[in-house]
Amino acid sequence: MDKVLHVQAADWQGLETSPKPVFLDFWADWCGPCKMLGPTFERLADQYGEKVTFAKVNVDELPEIANKFSIRSIPTLILMQGGSVVETLVGLRSEQELAQVLTRHTNGNK
**Active site (catalytic) residues:** 31, 34
Q: Which among 80, 28, 33, 30 is positioned nearest to 54, based on CA atoms?
A: 80
DSSP code per residue over 47-109: HHTTT-EEEEEETTT-HHHHHHTT--SSSEEEEEETTEEEEEEES---HHHHHHHHHHHTTT-
Helix (H, G, I), strand (E, B) or coil at 18: coil
